[in-house]
Amino acid sequence: MDANYQKLQQAIDFGQEIESIQDLETLLGRILSASRQLTNADAGTVYMKHEESLIFSQSQNDTLQSRQSAGIGLMYKTFTVPINRRSIAGYVAATGKTLNIPDAYLLNGDSPYSFDRSFDEKVRYRTQSMLAMALKNTAGEIVGVIQLINARNEQGSVIPFVKSDIPIVRILADNAAMAIERAQNTQTEILGMIRFLTDTRDPEETEAHVNRIGAFSVKIYEAWAIKRGVSPEEISTKIERLKMAAMLHDIGKLSIPQTVRQKTGNLTAEDYEIIRQHTVKGAKMLMAFAQTPYEIAAAEIALNHHEYWNGTGYPGHVNIETGQPLPGYENGGGKPRGKCGEEIPVFGRVVAIADVYDALSCRRVFREAMKEDDVLRTLEKGAGRHFDPDMIDAFFSGLDTIRAIRERFPDEAAA
């Protein structure tokens, strides 16, 4: 079969594959990996347009990844690029033109754009061939830019990008841009619910907070799953669901009266019981319209993220419709027995760690943020009591990435 025909079929199949991906970050990763596979590119980057800038949103690099320990992903700091003709990505976003550059280091003075070597020098990498293309939505508007770096031949040597590949990458990019539009709409809906929660019920449920919880959860789960030998395909599927679902972990707080939520101290036993109900009510709210795997996962997380590994958490084995114990799961007082160990669903155990880490690390209306050493000691002490010990190990194995995520999604006061 002709190689170009095979690549064309790959691009068409990819368009169908990504139709169900709802998480934007997962989608961008798939877009980049599929584009790199088509062109045999060593590396690549996706920038997303925001107002008059491009936000560095996704990056992959096989050469740099090969230098990392197994299971530890690369982490890049987010930055922005002005949309103008001075940089390669900025030029593509400003003009909509595709650039096929044989060697970025040999751009002459006639080009309006230039290549910044500072990242290469910092990480000891050599960017050579580049293919930069705009991502356009159904209205023809530019929503981002994809840059592919260092095409390779069968012997592994870097070569210029093949011209005949460009129309095929264009097909893939057009399908990708439509999927991006869908994912952005889904993300807008989720963040809209979070903003409503922030405005009306809980000022601590900020957009930055839920983005951190989602990203922390993905990192913890990925490290845990790799160590347990979970297949890459299953990990990829679970991560997409987890990222978005974790963001809705506290949606049940919408049901808590403001008179209780606004108290900063002296909570009564009755107040605590009302607050605890956000787990059951959140799960019930989400299950009422759950149709997709991520919505089902969100309900599971809402219900279980306050369970303790030793069985002393809440709400326990409960019927979310009635709030009553499931038959056979009553404790001595007639209340639901807490779930323990692996009775707690995997996603609930993951988000429990992410949520506590973020809560302790951030300032609250009634206390200052804890020092990181104290936060980490609290998590360590909680292993086997509050938290799944293996997942705590996974958390600490990716601590550098966890810290980078915190920097990527700062609270407004720290921005």
The three-state secondary structure class of 309 is coil
Task: For residue 262, give the CATH number of its domain.
Answer: 1.10.3210.10
Q: Which helix (H) or strand (E) covers residue 142, if one does?
A: strand 142-152
Whether 137 has a pLDDT exceeding 70, the answer reads: yes
Is 178 domain-assigned? yes
Provide the percentage of residues in the chain whose pLDDT is more than 70.
91
Q: What are the backbone dihedrals phi and psi of residue 336, each rounded to the nearest 5 degrees, phi first? A: -65, 135
Taking each helix axis as running N to C, give the angle between helix 3-17 and helix 166-200, from 0 to 180 degrees, rounded to the nearest 10.
10
**Which DSSP state fits 311?**
S
CATH code of the domain covering residue 35:
3.30.450.40
For the ranges 143-147, 205-209, 366-370, the maximum mean pLDDT occurs at: 143-147
250 occurs within a structural domain? yes
- Check whether residue 213 and residue 158 sit in a common domain: no
What is the number of alpha carbons within 13 Å of residue 168 lying toward its C-beta? 23
Please check whether residues 216 and 283 belong to one and the same domain.
yes
Full domain range(s) for residue 175 = 3-182
Task: Let me know if residue 194 belongs to a domain.
Answer: no
- 383: in domain: yes
pLDDT, tens digit (0-9, with 9 covering 90-100), for 60-86:
999 998 887 655 555 566 778 999 999
Q: pLDDT per residue over 274-310, tens digit each?
A: 999 999 999 998 898 877 888 899 999 999 999 999 9
- How confident is the model over 156-204, as pLDDT tens digits? 999 999 998 898 888 888 888 888 887 777 777 777 766 665 555 555 5
**132, part of any domain:** yes
Of 5-9, 211-215, 375-379, 400-404, minimum mean pLDDT range: 5-9
73 shares its domain with 154? yes
Q: What is the DSSP letter of 318?
A: B
Domain shared by 173 and 238, yes or no: no
205 and 330 in a single domain? The answer is: yes
Q: Is residue 81 domain-resident?
A: yes
Nearest CA among 343, 334, 285 for reference residue 313:
343
Same domain for 258 and 407? yes
Residues present in the chain in total:
415
CA dihedral sign, ordered 115, 118, 122, 124: positive
The reply to whether 303 and 346 lie within a common domain is yes
366 φ, ψ to 5°? -105, 0
Whether residue 46 is found in the same domain as residue 128:
yes
**194: Cβ–Cβ under 8 A, 6 or more apart, which residues?**
205, 206, 207, 210, 247, 248
Note whether 179 and 19 are within 8 A (CB). Answer: yes
What is the average pLDDT score of the chain? 87
Q: Read off the pLDDT band of 415 (50, 70, 90).
A: very low
Q: How many structural domains comprise the chain?
A: 2
Contact call for residues 209 and 361 (beta carbons, < 8 A): no
User: 169 with 263, same domain?
Assistant: no
In terms of domains, do 113 and 169 share one? yes
Answer whether 316's CB lies under 8 Å from 336's CB: yes
Is there a domain that residue 195 lies in? no
pLDDT at 413: 47
> Does residue 193 sit within a domain?
no
- Collapse the DSSP code of 259 into the 3-class scheme (helix H, G, I; strand E, B; otherwise coil) and give the result: helix
359 and 212 in one domain? Answer: yes
Q: Give SS3 for 203.
A: coil
| 95-135 tens-digit pLDDT | 999 999 999 999 987 889 999 999 999 989 999 999 999 99
3-state secondary structure of 387: strand
Task: Tell me: do 205 and 110 sit in the same domain.
Answer: no
